[in-house]
Structure formats: C-alpha cells, structure tokens
Amino acid sequence: MTTMAWDAGQEMFMHKLAVVSGASQGLGLALSCSLFARGADVVLVARRESMLIEAVAEVEKHRAMESQIVRHIVADLTSSTAAESVIANAGRPSPDFVFCCAGGCTAKLLLDTTATELQSSVEINYSTALFLAHASMRAMAKSGPTQYKRSIVFFSSVTHFYPFIGYGSYAPLKSALRTLADVMRQELISYNISVPVVFAGNFLSEGYAQENLTKPAITRKIEGPSEAITAEACAEKVIKGLLSGQQMITTDTIGWLLSGMMLGASPRSNYFFTVIFGIVFAWFAPVFEWFVERDIKNFYKSELKKVQSSESLSTKPMTNE
C-alpha cells in the first residue's frame, strides 16, 4: 500500500465518493489513483471489464485507509440509460465528485472523415459526458444541498481555445462541453455544486499515441513541438485546480495563454492577467492566422503535387527494351 504526503486534497476528498468515466486507462486512471490516495472512495467506469479489473488493481496500490472502497462498473455511457444505471448503482444516493473523462480523438482532415466516424466522435466526446453529468446532477439535486462543495468535472481540450485543421471531428464537441458546463453551473448554484471544465493540453496516454497515428502533417506543424506531460502530472494539475477553486482549469502554459482568446462569460482564473493577454491576442490573432492560412495553402499545394505525380506515373506508357 502506498500513500502520499498529506495535503489539502485529503480534507477535500476524504470519505467522498468519486465516479470517474474513461477510468480504465490514461487520465481517467491517473485521476482515480490520485483521488484514492487522497482518501476518496472511487468507482471506475468504462466499457471493457478486463481493463477495468486491471485498473482497479492499480488504484488499490494507492490506498490511504483500510475503509476505502474502489470498484468498477462496466457501462457504455453513450446510452443515457446506462449512465443513469451507473449513478443509481454507485453505492450512495448521489456521488460527491463526477469526472467525465471518457473521450478520444481521431485527428484527420474532415474531408477524409466518414459520417460513421463523425457520429462515433459525437457519442464518445459529447454524449458520454452529457448523459453522465445529467444523471449525476439530478441525483445530487434530489439529495439536496450539502455543507461542502460537490463537483461535476468536464474534460474539454485546449483545442477549444484555438480549433484548427485536423481536429474538425473533435474540437467542436469539446467546445460544446464548455457551453454545457456554463448552463449547468447556473442551474446548480443553489445546490452548492460546482461545474469545472478542464482544458487539457497534450498528455501521454494510449489515446494520445493513437491520435498521432492519423494526425496530418499540417496539424503537427500548427500544433508545434509541444511536449506531452505524463497522465499522472496532468491529473495532479487537475486536482490542484480543483483545490484552488478554479472553474476553468488549464494544464499547461500555452493553454492558459490561449484561454485569453475566448474569455466569454465563464469564470476566470488570474482575472487581470487573463484579460490583458486576451487584449494582446485580439491584436495578434489575425497576424498568426495569416501564417496558419499560408501553411495550409502550401500543404494543399504539396498534396496536389503528390497526387499529380502519382497519376503521371500510373499513366506513363510501358516501353520494351
């Protein structure tokens, strides 16, 4: 059994019930371990039982107290009925913390994306969060307000702040989660329930490795050489954000800087500096976009040349020597 040094997280999460979707791997698993190490009871939710069993064993290594409970529920959260069943069978009338981590990205040009892939992305990146959050908020509201703050946490992406080519089937859905959170936050004020949104940058996971298999060259160029942090480091940044009461949590510097481009009416962290950077980006963004559009045009010219060269080779007459 491993434990971590005492911090404010022990007080915030100890004896609380946390439900984590997408918990069989990646950030969901890392968060489950971090929450369990801070004294929470944790319910891991995902679609594959074999992976969940292994995940529970990994979380168990971080036990803080003998009385803690960690278990799994197999569910496909693209179904509202399944999401309602998860909350109904979580072990208490309502959870204290819900982490909507399920999701995934297939980085491709929209021109190369099938309608089936688009539908799948809607279900994985939006429906899973919508249905789990909806079932959770209804159960939490039914149980009435609590003296301590409860939370339903959405996981968006830094691509919400700056969506660009290659993320057409992904970024719009992550943007929708911010809007959903803004609405839910207002509805749940009187129940003492917060609705933070995490805008994660790149972090190492099975999903990130899969994303890179299909990522177009132009997407890599615009994205730049951003170094991916570990899933464990990302989880700790999320926990730190929750401990400090942030409602808009970024996991790297570029994410925080880009957040100034889309302030809106959502809660802000470091209000003064965020607004200042927002003003700066308002002037700088058109210049940056000019360079991006130039790179995209060059990319398509290069792709067209490849196609023309391939067609030329395929139609070249055979000669006998």
Residues annotated as catalytic are 156, 170, 174
Q: Which of 99, 156, 103, 97 is nearest to 127 (CA)?
A: 103
DSSP 8-class letter at 108: B
In 3D space, the residue among 101, 299, 124 whose CA is nearest the CA of residue 215 turns out to be 299
| 251 three-class SS | coil
Tokens at 18, concatenated: 């946390």
Residue 4 CB contacts under 8 Å (≥ 6 apart), including other chains: 37, 38, 62, 64
d(CA 176, CA 75): 23
Do residues 203 and 228 lie in contact, with contact meaning Cβ atoms separated by under 8 Å?
Answer: yes
Q: Which two tokens stand for residue 160?
A: 């919400």
Terminal C-alpha separation, the chain = 75
Residue 219 Cα distances to 30, 165, 223, 296, angstroms: 27, 6, 6, 9
Q: Give, as one character, the DSSP assignment of residue 262.
A: G
Reference 45, options 28, 26, 65; nearest CA is 28
Rounded Cα–Cα distance for residues 94 and 188 (Å): 14
Burial class (CB in 10 A: 0-12, 13-18, 19+), 147: exposed
